[in-house]
Copies of this chain bind each other. A is one copy, B any other.
């Protein structure tokens, strides 16, 4: 109740997209517009630009964002710092604050750029099966989450209202429109499918990253963890069922088992959507609440 006594007027900070610095495109005349490489195979030296000198290209928000994503992919969020990023950009840490208010703003920009990587299906194609489109969207979302394991904690942290996020959300809603599900249940269905993919991609991404850091394949890492577990006497009994939770059996690799589980879960949810759609045809939806 004494909530607005201490900070009288200023509304709480919500997002770069709302309270952030206005986007100012760089004004250097010699800049080739939108010449930034999309993929990240320029991981070596940033030298030898069109001018031939070894000075890095000038800063702007797009370049800062792109390099942030590259660093986060390569070294993980634990090692990502303003100083580290600035070093990579050939500049001091403080100059970043010209383009961005806080580190959170930077992460929000990087997050939105990653959302933009999700491939959305052709939504104008009326003849396409919504099941295929939903599957494609889920698979692409999962791929992106696994490629950038640092994003999942951020998705929970921020509002996700940048252009990349919105393009993704729009696509999700558009596909869900075509399921025949009553409007009443659409958001619940969206939640079911994409929160699942989010959770699945989170666990998978961290596991893949952990294996890479240890220099082991996923099966090797799994065997190592299981081996260590079985050395602990108390755990022998306790893990009799957890084993199938974590690992492969019967000659299946960890990756194969994961693919199988993901596909089955997606099929399950599509079957669930169809079942709820039929159910909605026979029952009358609950009345809309009165407008206050």
A interface with B by C-beta (< 8 Å): 3-4, 7, 11-12, 14, 17-19, 152-153, 155-157, 159, 161, 163, 166, 169-170, 173, 184-185, 187-192, 194-200, 202-203, 205-206, 210, 213-216, 221, 224-225, 228-229, 232, 235, 238-239, 241-242, 244-245, 250-252, 256-257, 260-265, 267-276, 279, 288-292
Contacts and interface: CB of A to CB of B under 8 A. Distances in A.
9 contacts: A152-B156, A187-B264, A188-B261, A189-B268, A195-B197, A196-B196, A264-B276, A267-B276, A271-B271
A264 B185 contact: yes
Q: Is the interface of A mostly helix, strand, loop or mixed?
A: helix
B187 A191 contact: no
B289 A188 contact: no
User: Which 9 interchain pairs have the tightest Cβ spacing?
Assistant: A272-B272, A188-B264, A195-B199, A3-B215, A271-B275, A12-B214, A192-B265, A198-B199, A268-B272
Contacts of A292: 251
A188 B224 CA distance: 24
Contacts of A265: 188-189, 191-192, 195
A203 to B, nearest CB: 6
Given A3-B215, A12-B221, A190-B245, 13 more contacts: A12-B224, A17-B235, A19-B228, A152-B156, A157-B206, A159-B225, A169-B245, A187-B244, A191-B196, A199-B202, A252-B289, A256-B289, A268-B273
Contacts of A245: 169, 173, 187, 190
A206 B274 contact: no
A156 B153 contact: yes
A11 B228 contact: yes
Contacts of A17: 232, 235
Instruction: Quickly give the copy total for this chain.
Output: 2
A18 B225 CA distance: 9
A114 to B, nearest CB: 16
A206 B15 CA distance: 14
Given A153-B156, A191-B262, A244-B187, A289 B250 contact: yes
A242 B166 CA distance: 7
B216 A156 contact: no
A12 B291 contact: no
Contacts of A198: 195, 198-199, 202
Contacts of A170: 241-242
A191 B184 CA distance: 25
Contacts of A270: 272
A275 B275 contact: yes
